[in-house]
Chains A and B, each alone.
Chain A
Amino acid sequence: MSDKTFDIVIVGAGIIGATLARELSAYALRVAVIDKASDIPSGASRANSAMIHAGYDDQPGTIKADFCPIGNRLYHELAGPLDFTLKECGSYVCGFDDDDRKHLEKLLQQGRANGVPGLEIVNGEALRRREPYASAEITHALWAPTGAIVNNFEAVLAFMDNAQQNGVELFLETTMEELLLSPDRGEVVGIATNRGRFFAPVVVNAAGVNSDLIARMAGDESFFIRPTRGEYYITDKHVGHLVKSFFFACPTPKGKGITVAPTAENNLLLGPTSTVQASRDDTSTTGPGLAEVIDGARRLVPSIPLNMAITAFSGVRANPDTKDFIVNVLDRPTGFVNAGGIKSPGFTSAPAIARHLVELMEDRFSRRISFIPDPAFVPERKHIPRFEQLPLEEKRRLAEADRRYAQIVCRCEMVTEGQVVEAIARGARTVAGVKIWTRAGAGRCQGGFCGPRVVEILARELGVPCEEITRHGGHSRYLVGKTKDYWFRGEK
């Protein structure tokens, strides 16, 4: 495992790492992004509500309040050129009584102070005219037209894909183990990983739920992360019509509460709960958690049927004890940048945080590295064709040009072999990776039909036996061996 040399190493390929990598790729810099996962996104950026918040939630004066509305605008601007799915659905915060009404007023004022456009409080009847399935108990709601939904997988892939097209290198299954410092410990010289050393005068800590541990390596003890789990249900698309917009309830002492939202693909997303846990990577779901999700969701939309879940999942929030994002450059060691503790609305804020970080770095590191714009920078990219969404004539044309686009792989989300092959060409290595890129296996049968086919295509394209294909990297082998070999080896 040979050592490598870069100008900047970013630790973590979540939405923060990806948006920052893409910003930096506009400069003539050698940038590496490393992530311990086999597929990205893997941390909080994989399992969240995917809401592009309007920006009324955060108190004026916090970093969050500054970044969130700007991030919101950037997603609207970049969805086209970077080709990720963004649905302009708007959001409601729903109130059930007078206290809630006061809270909505406060949010309205706060939002206006943060520069959020179009906010308005509507009464229950007006809400139900637009959203007939909303609970009859809702008396008022704050409407935010700029609230939007993204496909969070696609968004992270889009930023990273574009960064890679512009020369950034991504190293997966690569874990940062140590920060390398100059002998006097005053300067960053790189990092050590399980796959060798990466030398660089600048290291960015975008390690999400591990960001406090990475900061410790630089001697920064200013914050620590309290991992907080959020559990969700995804429903079948058959009930996707129950809401058009994103539904929040007024927060209770327990937190922002359970939301009901359409996803970018017209499923419903119900959740999240909020439970502090010791583990930083335990993304299991629990009986009580999922029960809370159903109760909370039905408080907003009572007619959500119980038997329409297709899957459940959970994500871990990187909640810092300081309550606000940690976005800064350390004075010592020189060359260490924090973008940690990025809790909600971190997904929304990421593009704004990335721009801010580049300014900070230009300002502070002009003597360590030079920020010269790269004339060859291409600011846009295309996603893999979304076969299901193409008009019939375009389906025909695509299938005519490449017959693999006429071979079905995933029947629920109508994903073709052409898409799966393209996903592998762009970096998918596991069954989960193919799902992230193409949605194969993300539908109502959850991979029952396409699982065997995806394993076969992965094995063929990567030139390895089927038994070596994993579900999501590590030891997650999909199959345990061939039937007859198995018998002969007598593995019991």
Chain B
Amino acid sequence: MADMQVDVAIIGAGPAGVAAGIGAREAGAKDVLVLERDWDLGGILQQCIHPGFGLHTFKEELTGPEYMHRWVVRAREAGVTFLTNSMVFKLDEDGSLWVMNPERGVFKVTAKATVLAMGCRERPLGAINVPGSRPAGIFTAGTAQRFVNMEGYMPGHRTVVLGSGDIGLIMARRLVWEGARVEGVFELMPWAGGLRRNIAQCLNDYDIPFYLSHTVTRVHGKDRLEGVSVAEVDENRQVLDGTERFIGCDCLLLAVGLIPENELSRMAGVEIHPVTGGPVLNEFYQTSRPSIFAAGNVVIVYDLADWVSQEGVAAGRNAALYAAGALKEPLRRIDIRGGANVRLFSPQYVTAGEDVTVYFRVLRPIEKRCRVFADRGLFERKHRYVRPGEMNEIRLKAEALQALPRSVTTITIDAEEV
């Protein structure tokens, strides 16, 4: 296969990548190529066959595949080129990339600008240190979702879900629909990891027990999973003596966290933030390598695909501007700092060039009136609550940032009771 040259190359055809393609074309880039390693477009949303997508973008409730279908149609109309079955396996510092594709072999794509849109992956059992044996029947919730929704296979008859991330909640309900039993969802923290609406619609509506401050302490079974030990934990997440009990099950689903997928970014020498696990960005979605941009779950794990699409359009637009030599020069650098109740946020700094939304998650829930704010009067909004499972937004105006005295080099964001 001959090597290719394009204006903007985009890695990944999930919501972020597809939208980035549109953004890049709309900003005037001629050749915009999206590379996707799966055989079909849509990213994770291919397997999210439940409704709940599109309320922001299309003002109606769609399933994941329906939502992505609309975006892909738009992208095709906008003149974006897609290559599926195309795994990017190497990213050079200048943003050129190496691809493998079973029809075309191994080839190189040179791009004036590149957008990272590789999404995230799920944390496996080994990463959370649950002792015991390693039998068959342990799956991450997303892998099980792919098996059930796309390939048509059942991961088990009796299931325990560890972790209350959204995918785990959705899969608990899905397995009940398929006729399996779900013994319960166990969450280490004293609050839910996923959205409140998913607790109600996926667990409560189906009488699936939900245990906060609980964890799986041991895996049993040699060939196929035979059961797990579960126990209650104290506020320091230490197991409380005497609370351990055995639950028979042949399937354990893990919904214990998502990690931005940044192997390629690291290869290219892109600076990775130690807390988010994604690239350090400015308001242009630009990484520490100027020709490399990033959007979506590869940066920070979002709750809603609609937001990811929005970010994708903007990242694609900026990549196209960069490719044309037309991206604004930075005026100054203002670092964003998380306050006492901030777990993670993105972007990490702004240059006062463009209005920007800072997305962040809190460490601890506040279940009463509170305010989400950026200091120096840059932003404030009152909320009825903030929760770790639900992302917050802070909108900063470029004008207001420009008006800050030159001596200001950081601004702090936080959420607190009022």
Residues of A within 8 A of B (CB): 234, 238, 281-287, 289-290, 307, 309-313, 392, 395-396, 399-400, 403-404, 406-408, 411-412, 414, 416-417, 444-449, 451-452, 456, 466-467, 470-484, 486-487, 490-492
Q: How far is the CB of A345 from chain B (nearest CB, A)?
A: 26
Q: Of A238, A283, A449, A466, which is in contact with the most chain B CB atoms at under 10 Å from its CB?
A: A449
Beyond A311-B126, A452-B151, A483-B152, whether A476 also contacts B85 by CB under 8 A is: no
The 10 closest A-B pairs by CB, nearest first: A311-B126, A471-B136, A446-B124, A475-B223, A476-B223, A476-B136, A408-B87, A284-B133, A407-B102, A399-B105
CA distance A490 to B127 in the complex (A): 36
Q: Is B405 an interface residue (CB 8 A)?
A: no
With a CB–CB cut-off of 8 A, which chain A residues contact B127? 307, 309-310
Q: Of A284, A406, A407, A474, which is in contact with the most chain B CB atoms at under 10 Å from its CB?
A: A406
With a CB–CB cut-off of 8 A, which chain B residues contact A486? 154, 178-180
With a CB–CB cut-off of 8 A, which chain A residues contact B251? 480
Cβ contact within 8 Å between B131 and A284 = yes
**What total of A-B pairs shows CB separation below 8 Å?**
153
Q: How far is the CB of A36 from chain B (nearest CB, A)?
A: 13
Beyond A399-B105, A411-B37, A452-B146, whether A467 also contacts B153 by CB under 8 A is: yes
Cβ contact within 8 Å between B135 and A471 = yes
With a CB–CB cut-off of 8 A, which chain A residues contact B218? 284, 287
With a CB–CB cut-off of 8 A, which chain B residues contact A286? 131
With a CB–CB cut-off of 8 A, which chain A residues contact B132? 284-285
CA distance A178 to B236 in the complex (A): 54
Q: How far is the CB of B58 from chain A (nearest CB, A)?
A: 29
Beyond A444-B124, A483-B154, 19 additional contacts (C-beta under 8 Å) are A284-B131, A287-B131, A287-B217, A311-B125, A399-B100, A403-B105, A406-B105, A407-B85, A411-B263, A445-B140, A452-B146, A470-B136, A479-B147, A480-B250, A482-B152, A483-B148, A483-B153, A492-B179, A492-B181
Q: Is B122 an interface residue (CB 8 A)?
A: yes
CA distance A416 to B100 in the complex (A): 10
Beyond A407-B85, A482-B152, whether A445 also contacts B122 by CB under 8 A is: yes
With a CB–CB cut-off of 8 A, which chain B residues contact A312? 126, 129, 131
Q: Is B98 an interface residue (CB 8 A)?
A: yes
Beyond A284-B132, A307-B127, whether A480 also contacts B156 by CB under 8 A is: yes
CA distance A400 to B100 in the complex (A): 11
Q: Is B89 an interface residue (CB 8 A)?
A: yes
Q: Of A407, A480, A487, A492, which is in contact with the most chain B CB atoms at under 10 Å from its CB?
A: A480
CA distance A281 to B223 in the complex (A): 12
With a CB–CB cut-off of 8 A, which chain B residues contact A283? 133
CA distance A449 to B89 in the complex (A): 15
Cβ contact within 8 Å between A487 and B178 = yes
Q: Of B124, B126, B152, B250, which is in contact with the most chain A CB atoms at under 10 Å from its CB?
A: B126
Cβ contact within 8 Å between A445 and B178 = no
Secondary structure of the B contact surface, majority rule:
mixed
Nearest-neighbor residue (CB-CB) of B107 within chain A: A396
When the two chains form the complex, which single residue of A284, A479, A491 contacts B155, counting CB atoms closer than 8 Å?
A479
When the two chains form the complex, which single residue of B101, B107, B124 contacts A310, counting CB atoms closer than 8 Å?
B124
Q: Is B289 an interface residue (CB 8 A)?
A: no
Q: How far is the CB of B1 from chain A (nearest CB, A)?
A: 9
Q: How far is the CB of A482 from chain B (nearest CB, A)?
A: 6
CA distance A481 to B136 in the complex (A): 14
Q: How far is the CB of A78 from chain B (nearest CB, A)?
A: 31
CA distance A433 to B289 in the complex (A): 41
Enumerate 25 A-B pairs (CB-CB under 8 Å) in ascending A order.
A238-B266, A281-B222, A282-B133, A309-B129, A310-B124, A311-B124, A312-B129, A392-B90, A395-B100, A396-B106, A403-B102, A406-B100, A406-B102, A406-B105, A408-B100, A414-B89, A444-B124, A445-B124, A448-B140, A452-B146, A474-B222, A479-B154, A490-B179, A492-B179, A492-B181
Cβ contact within 8 Å between B131 and A289 = yes
Cβ contact within 8 Å between B154 and A403 = no
Q: Of A234, A395, A467, which is in contact with the most chain B CB atoms at under 10 Å from its CB?
A: A395
Cβ contact within 8 Å between A482 and B106 = no
Cβ contact within 8 Å between B104 and A406 = yes
Nearest-neighbor residue (CB-CB) of A395 within chain B: B106
The 0/1 profile, CB within 8 Å of A marked 1, for residues 117-153 of chain B is 0000110111101011111100110110011100111
Cβ contact within 8 Å between A480 and B155 = yes
Beyond A284-B132, A406-B106, A479-B147, whether A309 also contacts B154 by CB under 8 A is: no
